[in-house]
Chain A
Amino acid sequence: MQTIKMKNNTYLTEGYSIVGPLEGKGPLKDYFDYILKDDTLKEKTFEKAERKLLENIVAGAIDKSGLKTTDIQFFFGGDLLNQIVSSSYTARELEIPFIGLYSACATMAESIALAAIFVDNGLCENALAATCTHFSSAERQYRFPLELGNQRAPTTQWTITGGGASVVSKLKSNVKIVAVTFGKVLDFGIIDVNNMGAAMAPAACDTIREHLKNMGRTTSDYDFIATGDLGKLGCEILFDLLEQNEIVLGKNYQDCGCMMYNKKQRTFMGGSGAGCSASVFNGYILNKLKKGEFKRVLLVSTGALMSTTTNQQGDTIPAIAHAVEFEYVGNQISANNLKAAQNPAQNAKFSQNKSAKSKAKHNTRK
């Protein structure tokens, strides 16, 4: 079966998100853990900046969860750059066993799903899932030089600068991972790379349908259903496609890409990129889940799996969508509190260190 249900209480302990300056001016600005003031992060190239961004995200997530790097047994991650260099180079610094993944913009859901399966089956205690993207490095790889004075097609999306990391763990927290669904690769014959929402919508539709069917639920059972980065047009198409399958999406549905920017920011169809669902999930959605404002959430990250080469050779765009279902499980002791309860003195010391460290880190970022 496409859907794998968690049997042994697997929790999403903590999440951390960083976004760039433009995203930091969008509607979700209050939910992100940190907003960059300078998107180069004082690095010489944008590829190096993306790498540093991911390193900061990962460090932030581990810090926030109250764990140490050595407590994490596996690191699942990927990004959009060729040969997923940002993740691999981050893993080089971390020295945690690394499982590199690529599902384009669906990488966040894929890495959380795999981390959850590892933890749930007792293969490890704590696992880390992280991904990020950088607008400027993605533009360089997929499109045109930044300073080229060209016009964008109205269906294009804006690769976000930012990303997120989640710590999946056995340690009790109030957000539980219930089930994951891995998607099929679907290709409905879209060729236009400037219209990836249309290419990805059928994959999202298929994964949502399979997930609901296998879980025996309807869309109204969820407080929030989020797709990764379909954009405005992709959302409209998804509504129509699901309607053909007799599934009705209500007001509880939103697309992370559409939530990222406001209208004035001229990002056309909205945000995209692996970091899009990563930052919106770890920033906004997880925040709401932890507070209990959302009781049950379905995250469906969507990815278009083409490359510039296949596109130039006239191939159509295959797409994939992975889904993860989360549930709020009430006021259980969070990982931080649990540690504090076990060893109050040590924890106080640690949190002092931690705040000093993170302050120092933020200062260097400035």
Chain B
Amino acid sequence: MDKQKRNENYNIYVESKVPKTKAWPSLFKAFLTGGIICVIGQGFFDLYSYLFPNLAESEVTTCMLMSIIFLTCLLTGFGIYDVIGAWGGAGSVIPITGFSNSISSPAIEFKKEGIIYGICVKMFTIAGPVIVCGVVGSIICGIVGLFI
């Protein structure tokens, strides 16, 4: 039996053995975590609207986002957000809190290599691709939008 065939058969065999993540419990946990994060965000929104009635809605939104980003960084620093993430999965990754965590966690981790080579270089190792894709996507959308 040649190696390629052997490897293909082995991969098929391994695939049949690999335990699968159960979809429904994961979905439920993600829904719950994501939902709670959104409720907290809404809470900040309502609070700021009540406290500062003169602010425009977009400004209140910005303040709300800043607040939950700050809160996530704080929780990341205290070593709590990774526990939430391990339980909640996509529920904690998809909201802006996940993005905040993906920048603050390498910043903390690589602080030991110094400010330039550590924090500045490694800060975007995880969030970098998201930013690049986001910018490229918006450029394409912008160009398309120009002609419609």
Contacts and interface: CB of A to CB of B under 8 A. Distances in A.
B77 to A, nearest CB: 8
Interface string B67-85: 0000000001101011111
> Could you tell me the dominant secondary structure of chain A's interface residues?
loop
Contacts of B102: 148
Given A44-B112, A188-B10, A198-B14, A147 B105 contact: yes
B14 A151 contact: no
A60 B17 CA distance: 41
B10 A149 contact: no
A150 B93 contact: yes
B18 A189 contact: no
A188 B76 CA distance: 39
Contacts of A45: 112
Given A140-B109, A233-B17, A237-B17, A149 B79 contact: no
A195 B13 CA distance: 13
Given A150-B86, A151-B89, A145 B14 contact: no
Interface string A227-263: 0000001001100100000000000000000000000
A155 B15 CA distance: 11
Contacts of A44: 112
A153 B89 CA distance: 11
B108 A149 contact: no
Contacts of A142: none
Interface string A147-185: 111111111000000000000000000000000000000
Interface residues of A, number: 27
Interface in B119-143: 126
A148 B19 contact: no
A195 B14 contact: yes
Contacts of B10: 188-190, 202
> Could you tell me the dominant secondary structure of chain B's interface residues?
helix
Contacts of A149: 76, 81-86, 88, 92-93, 98, 101, 105
A282 B105 CA distance: 35
Contacts of B101: 147-149
A44 B86 CA distance: 26
Most buried by B among A44, A150, A187: A150
Contacts of B88: 149
B11 A189 contact: yes
Most buried by B among A45, A148, A233: A148
A233 B18 contact: yes
Nearest to A194: B18
Contact of B20 (A154, A187, A189): A154
Contacts of B20: 154
B89 A148 contact: no
Contact of A147 (B4, B6, B76, B98): B76
Contacts of B83: 149
A154 B112 contact: no
Interface of B: 4, 6-8, 10-11, 13-14, 17-21, 76-77, 79, 81-86, 88-89, 92-93, 98, 101-102, 104-106, 108-110, 112, 126
Top 6 nearest A-B pairs by Cβ distance?
A149-B85, A189-B7, A145-B109, A147-B105, A145-B105, A148-B105
Interface of A: 44-45, 140, 144-155, 187-190, 195, 198, 202, 233, 236-237, 240, 316
19 contacts: A144-B105, A145-B108, A146-B82, A146-B105, A147-B76, A147-B109, A149-B84, A149-B86, A149-B98, A149-B101, A149-B105, A151-B86, A151-B89, A154-B20, A187-B7, A188-B11, A189-B10, A190-B14, A236-B17
